Structures are given as C-alpha cells and as structure tokens.
Structure 1
C-alpha cells in the first residue's frame, strides 16, 4: 500500500538518502531533489530555482527538507550564500509547498544551533529543547533562522535537531555515541515517525541511546571514565580491550526525551553497537 508522495530534498547527501530509503520502506512514494545526481534523486536542480521547486513538490503530500549548506562549508562559502541557500531557499520552498497542497513539513536541523550554549562551566551541559540556542557561526545562524521560518509557516511542521551522525574514526565515534552522536539509521527512523505523527508539531532533539541522566552532569565533567565504567561496563571493557582511553571529561549530553514522548522515538543503536561494528 502506497501512503502517498513524499518529497525529500538533499537526497544525494547522506542524511537525505537515508531518509528517502526509510520512507520508501515505510510505504511512501519518494521524489528526491538535489543539486547533484544520486540514486534516490529524481529532480536534479537548485532549490533557489522556482521551476525546480515546483517540479519537486508536484503531487506531494509531505515535504522533508534536508538540503542545506553544512558546517564544513563555513569559511569556504560566503555568508551570503549560506543565507541564500539555508534561509531564502527554505522560505521559498515553504511558500511553494503551501501552494502545492503539502499537508506536512519535516525540517532536518542540527543540534549545532545550540552553539555557545554547549560550552560547560562546572558540569556537562544537559541539552534539551529548553536550552536557548546561542549560534556561533553562519551555519548555526542560518539553520536557526530556517527553523523559525518552518515554525511560522502555513503548513504544520516538525523540526528535528539531529545530533552528530557522520563517519568518524572508531575511537572517536565510540565516545561520541555515549553522549552526542546518533546512528544514521535512527535519524531516518525518527524522520519517518515525524512524518507519520500528523498531530504533532514543534522542535525535537534526535540523539542516540545514552546511559546517563541529568543528575550525572557534574560527575561527567569531573570523572567521566569512572561513571562510564559504572553505567556502561561493557563499553569500558571494550575500550580496555582495544587499548583505548575512556574520556576523562564529557562536556554535554543530548536529550531526546521530548521526541520519545511526542513521536515515540527510541534510538536503536548505542556506543556498544558502534564498537561491535568496528570489530
């Protein structure tokens, strides 16, 4: 049974492609759009072009907007282009989506928008949606501006602030998966949930499965290795077997509790999964 047409932007990129695959597996007919060709991408073109936007949105009931300039582009791409791609094109896309009869928008943002608010003082920062974003660069500024456009738009929408989800060296990824990274498969699954839960709107963090609570913030900043050994002994043993040091300090923990309550999101993969895959 086909649930309807979903347009996904950025489908030649890592996140957009994973979302497209997951939506198709869930029964959606997906039309992908990206500036670069790719296997899930049916419309190749720049979203700053009205004709491209209209071709992408034709017949769509749902829009998942993942296309953007990202943090690695900071300093390499002029700020004006960041604003044109991440803000102006998003505004135009939202306007065209409303005109095309799209009934739901899911915007893929980033936990990076918290910016300077992620810097700890005497304890790890517990990062839930009540933490006020303090953008530190043009990427953060434009992603936050796009979030505001999505929230104010005519089409009911959800914004997903996704945690770090790109490949990293195994020792680094294993640590990140304890407190600030998320598996790509969990991002895709969360997006499908956000598409399906049509009565839900708002902004939600999407992060991994971590062994810590808010009460652990001071201990994580003072002796993370000791707390990891206590809360995740299998992870500590796996680090020891590989000759890797556990982190002495953890500076932040992302909290997906709101997404769990509103969307039924539960991360499937954690640090131990990353270690098993590393071998």
Structure 2
C-alpha cells in the first residue's frame, strides 16, 4: 500500500520494527515517541500493524490486546492531537468468525453480517475497529479478505469467492484515503460472478453454477488440471466499497489463470467477472 500511495502522489512515512524500503521510523508502536515521530505533520494515518492469526496460540492473549488494541488506541489519540485529518484502518474479514460457517447454504458475507469472533485475533481486530469508528478523526475500516501467498490451484479456488489480490487491496486503500468524507466498514475482496440468490446452489453444486456463469474459467481450470470446487461455503461481497468510493477489483481468478497459462487467454470482463506496517502520509507540495 505504501508504494501505491507514493505513486498516487503522497509522501509516505512508514513505521515498522525492522528496516525496509518504506520504513522511515524503526520502532514499536506501543512506544509513544515512535508514534509521535510517525505522525508528525501527517494528514492521514494508515494503520495496518497487528499481530495476526498465525500468532494465535504462540503469543499470550495479553500481547494481542497490547498490540492490536492498546497501540491502536494510542495511535488514534496521538493522530487527533497532532491534527491528522483521516484514519484508514486495515482489518480483516476474519472478524466475522463463526458467522462464516454455513448451515444449509453458502454465507453471503456483506457488512450486514454480524461478526461472531472465534479467537483472540478476531476479538482484538474487532475491538480496534470499534476504537476507529469512535475516534474524533474521519475514519474508515477496510476488512481485507484472504490475500497471502498460496499454491496456484489453492489460490485460484479462493479467488473465485473469498480472496483478493494485494494490488487490489492497495488500490482500495488509495481510494479510501482519497475520499475523506466516506466513513464506515467495508469488505475488500476480489471479483466474483455470484449473486445472493446463488447461495443455496453453491452449497450443493458450485460446479454447475460456475459452468453457467463463467464457463471459460471452468475450462481453464480443466486445462490446468485443477479441480473445480463442488461446494463453496461463502462469498465475500465488496459492493458497499464499490458504491462508497469506487472500488473495482481487477486482478481476480482470470488474471491468475492467464499468468498460469503464460500469457493472454481469458478475456477481460467487468470487475464482477461477468457482471504489516503503519503508514502516515502527507500530500506532496
């Protein structure tokens, strides 16, 4: 996201515990001098620093609360005191927790779905969301869907309904920063071909739905020797982000399949497939 903000014309000041290309301040955000150094003269706080799901069970719950909640509270307070005009918090669709578990049909995951946290990670990310929503500075939260590296067949399956490319995440962040009056919580996921009324069929015969909606994608799966899923348990919906600040994901399963095939093959369609650091930014002069 730092690179995308830089390309959009922002001066980026990144904070991390280890040096890196976009790390201007090295330190722990639980320390106030580090936060103040990061936020000095910043117009926007983009907060993505957190302990994540892989840390669950390896670190104490108190550590999660200190990093994910305590440091967030400190950042928000300091951002307000130093005159920041916008806060963008990077959360996760993991906060929906047990609500993601299907019953007789796939779960349609939009922002109306009530989160039911499963573990300390979900609990602390949701608690941080609440702090952001209640802060004095104009704020928005992006709930990012699955976006970590996976083997191509696994990644392709997830991109059908519950994953996003990091380039689309970065684009969403730039858009959210550029719309300072937009507030609330927004799912950020990749393009998909489904409608809410598909949920029952997706839980029974996802292959048939895919064959009807995106037959070229099904054929490309077959060409690669990748299994087409017979059932899907959920679909992440980013319509609210599209309506609020123009989010349009473009790097979905078709792009992955083109890459896997070694070049152009599948036709580009609409964004709907047929329908860890904290950064402060200031504008360039």
What's the TM-score once normalised by structure 2's chain length? 0.91
Larger mean CA deviation between 213-222 and 230-239 belongs to 230-239
Residue aligning to 2:82:
100
Q: CA RMSD for the aligned pairs?
A: 0.7
Residue of structure 2 aligned with 1:146, choices 128, 146, 155: 128
1:71 aligns with 2:43: no
Higher RCO structure (Cα 8 Å, ≥6 apart): 2
Q: What is the rounded CA distance, in whole Å, between the counterparts of 1:180 and 1:189 in structure 2?
A: 18
Q: What is the rounded CA distance, in whole Å, between the counterparts of 2:155 and 2:260 in structure 1?
A: 10
Name the SS for the 1:29 alignment partner.
Answer: strand
> What is the Cα deviation at residue 278 of structure 1?
2.4
Q: What is the rounded CA distance, in whole Å, between the counterparts of 2:56 and 2:204 in structure 1?
A: 32
1:53 aligns with 2:35: yes
Residue of structure 2 aligned with 1:213, choices 170, 191, 195: 195
1:19-30 alignment, distance < 5 Å: 19-30=1-12
1:172 aligns with 2:154: yes
CA shift digits 1:174-204 (9 cap, x unpaired): 0100100001000000000100001111110
Q: How many residues align?
A: 261
> What is the Cα deviation at residue 147 of structure 1?
0.1
Residue of structure 1 aligned with 2:206, choices 206, 224, 228: 224
1:36 aligns with 2:18: yes
Q: What is the rounded CA distance, in whole Å, between the counterparts of 2:234 and 2:144 in structure 1?
A: 15
Q: What is the rounded CA distance, in whole Å, between the counterparts of 2:16 and 2:260 in structure 1?
A: 31
> What is the Cα deviation at residue 77 of structure 1?
1.0
Name the SS for the 1:253 alignment partner.
Answer: strand
Residue aligning to 2:93:
111
Alpha carbons 1:177, 1:208 under 8 Å: kept = yes
Instruction: Detail structure 1 runs of 4+ shifted over 2 Å in the superposition.
Output: none
Alpha carbons 1:31, 1:42 under 8 Å: kept = yes
Q: What is the rounded CA distance, in whole Å, between the counterparts of 2:157 and 2:78 in structure 1?
A: 42
> What is the Cα deviation at residue 245 of structure 1?
1.3
Name the SS for the 2:143 alignment partner.
Answer: strand
1:84 aligns with 2:66: yes
Name the SS for the 1:63 alignment partner.
Answer: strand
Name the SS for the 1:155 alignment partner.
Answer: coil
Q: Which runs of 5+ in 2 are unaligned?
A: 262-285
> What is the Cα deviation at residue 129 of structure 1?
0.3
> What is the Cα deviation at residue 150 of structure 1?
0.2
1:265 aligns with 2:265: no
Residue aligning to 2:171:
189
Residue aligning to 1:201:
183
Q: What is the rounded CA distance, in whole Å, between the counterparts of 2:252 and 2:195 in structure 1?
A: 15
Q: What is the rounded CA distance, in whole Å, between the counterparts of 2:250 and 2:227 in structure 1?
A: 25
